[in-house]
Amino acid sequence: MSTLELNGGEVTGTLADSVGIEFFAGTVRANGTIISGDANGVRMALSGQGLAETDLTLDGATLEGRLSSAILVEEGVQADIHVLNNSKLLAGNNILLDVQGASTVTMAVANSTLQGNINIADGSTANLTFDQGQMTGDVLVDGSSSASVTLQNQSQFTGRLDKVASVNIDSHSNWTLTGNDSIGALGMNGGNVTFGAADAPATYYQLNVGALSGNGTFVMKGDFATGEHDFLNVVGASAGDFALAVAASGLDAVAPQQLTLARTGTTDGAQFALAGNSVVDVGTWSYSLANRENGEGGRDWFLDPTTAVISPGARSVLALFNTAPTVWYGELSSLRSRMGELRFNGGQAGGWIRTYGNKYNVADGSGTGYQQQQQGLSLGADARIGESQVLVGVLAGTSQSDLDLNRGTSGTVKSYYVGPYVTWLDSDTGYYVDGVLKFNRFRNESKVNLSDGSRTKGDYDNWGVGGSAEFGRHIKLADGYFIEPFTQLSAVQIQGKRYTLDNDMDADGDRMRSLLGKAGATFGRNFGFGNGAVAQPYVRAAIAHEFASNNEVKVNNNVFNNDLSGSRAEFGAGVAVAMSAQWQVHADFDYSKGEHIEQPWGANVGVRYSW
């Protein structure tokens, strides 16, 4: 048998129905060569002596059939074809390789990308191997022929493999279906089967497999609002462990028990589990995978509605609607703690600035559990009305609260506020009344990490208004000690809002209300240091009760109640220091614990200047 080696250059058939290279047995190797013909780029046929073995190697070469297939193999030829190192096959009829006449072809594609179809007909056989190779197109097998396809070393195949007898997917390679397929045997070793391209329209496919073995991942999707979904059907024997990577959705399932993702032909075959977080996020709920015998000798694997838990998307919605009251109260604490400073200077006019931080743990019983961390800045100024003991002032500030809902889901609430306040402080009796009205603008944003690794987000703005009134008395004891019992009533209402996350999840929050009553006492002592300097350390204890219990939130029309009602105990400690007649500083630390909310810590520090 003869050998032809081409290094560079072009080989072109110019006449009608011409072939770039036509050979009968032997070997052709083309290195960087362009080969084309009017009909085929290469035609392989039986030699006059009946020799059938032919070998074609393309290394960085281009092979084109301008009107027909790039490579035609016929007359019972046994061909060995290598497409290497960015070689290209081009075909006028979109058939890159046409195997006919009871021929047998083994083709290896390495480090090359093909686009087009492969046709096996007339009792022929083709064994196709991709090694770091890519192909977009179909392998077409008629009823008299057979084919096998192997993907290895990160190869990618996108297209139909219908009627292919054997498919093997190894080494992080991937087959992307573009239609319903039925194949003989599927063997996997760390590979993926993807039901439809990610950027393609939402079309759902069924893959029928005669036998399944090995281990790998099936990447699937579904329209859970209609019940349509991808489906893997293993007709015969199966063995191995496989993952189902199901795309998350913001839409609720119509009937989750009907979303059967995989079926095996026997009850003791392959095992399936959900990839990643072991749940699938379907709108408001996340579902786990379950299996059952189907009564036909096989086993069905389906999303189990009895395992439903609140999805990360729904958790983010509930948390954002739930957070505004704790944001509002956290901002208010910086105003309340200035009372010790006012007593140092007899309630003189002045200006002040505070920085503060708070941490809240909200329990699942309130609808969804999360952690909130707040930091902010407040400033204000007040002045005495005439010769009275009444001060009026205005405050303004901003805060940011970061929410952690686990599984990579988070939220942010940025708050901007302003409002007037009034304080009456009777220096003779120690009685005082402190009132504030505060207006807030909230900027809310959630970022949700879904079960399939994708992310979605949503944001909205809303307003809030609330007020607080505190009544108490400063009672002086012997040796500089004092006790200060107090009661406080606060109320806030947050504007309701409707918004949509990027994954089409619908969120509708009713007006959020809070009515908080509090009673407690502060105990401390004044220490004088001369030259007008005084330090006032103190401790505080109180019982607070939230009366509002009905704060309705809808997620995809599922109704939840953000209920923070109940009692909690509060404890605090701090110190107010008068450094001179004009300058006072303050530091305050808080802790509280209740049924729904725990505040592990709260702190604020600031300074006041009196003029």
**Percent residues over pLDDT 90 in the chain:** 60
Give the torsion through C-alpha atoms of 282, 286, 290, 295, to 10 deg.
-40
Sheet bearing 506-509, strands edge to edge: 497-500, 506-509, 552-555, 558-561
Residues 535 and 565: their CA atoms lie apart, in Å, by: 37
Residue 539 pLDDT more than 80? yes
What is the arithmetic mean of pLDDT over 229-242?
95
In Å, how far are 56, 71, 78, 109, 160 from 105, measured between CA atoms?
Answer: 11, 11, 6, 13, 19
Most confident of 306-310, 439-443, 494-498, 526-530: 439-443
Residue 93 pLDDT more than 80? yes
Out of 36-50, 140-154, 324-338, least confident range: 324-338
What is the arithmetic mean of pLDDT over 469-495?
92
Most confident of 78-92, 249-263, 501-515, 517-531: 78-92
Residue 338 pLDDT more than 60? no
The predicted structure's pLDDT at residue 370: 84
Residue 1 pLDDT more than 70? no
Q: How many CB atoms lie within 10 A of CB 276?
A: 16
The predicted structure's pLDDT at residue 339: 53
Residues 1 and 47: their CA atoms lie apart, in Å, by: 10
Binning pLDDT at 50, 70 and 90, where does residue 273 land? very high
The predicted structure's pLDDT at residue 399: 95
Residue 145 pLDDT more than 70? yes
Out of 118-127, 281-290, 317-326, least confident range: 317-326
Provide the token pair at 456.
């979605």
Residues 83 and 128: their CA atoms lie apart, in Å, by: 11
Minimal CA–CA distance to 161: which of 171, 169, 172?
169
Residue 72 pLDDT more than 90? yes
The predicted structure's pLDDT at residue 489: 95
Residue 346 pLDDT more than 70? no
Residues 23 and 37: their CA atoms lie apart, in Å, by: 13
The predicted structure's pLDDT at residue 129: 98
Asked whether 34 and 10 are in contact (CB, 8 A), the reply is yes
What is the arithmetic mean of pLDDT over 197-205?
81
Residue 347 pLDDT more than 70? no
Of residues 416 and 366, the one with the higher pLDDT is 416
Residues 231 and 183: their CA atoms lie apart, in Å, by: 14
Q: What is the pLDDT of residues 403-423, one digit of tens each?
A: 887 767 888 999 999 999 998
Residue the block writes with tokens 């960087």: 32
Out of 124-133, 218-227, 325-334, 500-509, least confident range: 325-334
The predicted structure's pLDDT at residue 363: 77
What residues are paired with 418 via a beta bridge?
A: 396, 439
Residue 235 pLDDT more than 70? yes
Claim: this prediction has a pTM higher than 0.85 = no
On average, the pLDDT of the chain sits at 90
Q: What is the pLDDT of residues 20-67, one digit of tens each?
A: 999 888 899 999 999 999 999 999 998 767 676 899 999 999 999 999
Count, residues in the chain: 611
The predicted structure's pLDDT at residue 202: 76
Asked whether 139 and 161 are in contact (CB, 8 A), the reply is yes
What is the arithmetic mean of pLDDT over 344-349?
65
Out of 366-375, 379-388, 473-482, least confident range: 366-375
The predicted structure's pLDDT at residue 530: 74
DSSP 240-268: SEEEEEEPPBSSPPS-GGG-EEEEESSTT
**Percent residues over pLDDT 70 in the chain:** 96
Binning pLDDT at 50, 70 and 90, where does residue 70 land? very high
Residue 334 pLDDT more than 60? no
Binning pLDDT at 50, 70 and 90, where does residue 365 land? low
